[in-house]
Amino acid sequence: MARKQKSSATTKTTVVRSIRKSKPVRPVVDEVTTTTQMRTRPKVEVRRAATLAQALTEPAVRVVKPQTEIVTRKVTHKRRAA
């Protein structure tokens, strides 16, 4: 007996397009605004002694360092061309 082939599922898609006559549309321009900020925040660092002899005689020292980071933001909005 020969096996029957499985029929593949078929779907019909109907595309309806309507054409409207109206005023010409002005082109839209994407306007991208980029802002860049520099932030400086304090960062606390603990400096410890390098050798055992220094560790026994000198305590650890806290040092405050300025840490700079750059933050960039992009804002996109649409506007109509003139």
pLDDT band for position 4 (50/70/90)? low
Token pair, residue 65, equals 């360092």
**What integer is the mean pLDDT of 59-76?**
90
Confidence of residue 61 (pLDDT cuts 50, 70, 90): very high
pLDDT at 65: 93
Q: How far is CA 74 from CA 26, 78, 81, in A?
A: 25, 13, 20
Secondary structure string (H, E, C) spanning 3-21: CCCCCCCCCCCCCCCCCCC
**CA distances to 5, 32 from 2, in Å:** 9, 65
Q: pTM of the full predicted structure? A: 0.39
Q: What is the mean pLDDT of the chain?
A: 77
Find the mean pLDDT for residues 64-78: 87
Is a pLDDT exceeding 60 seen at residue 51? yes
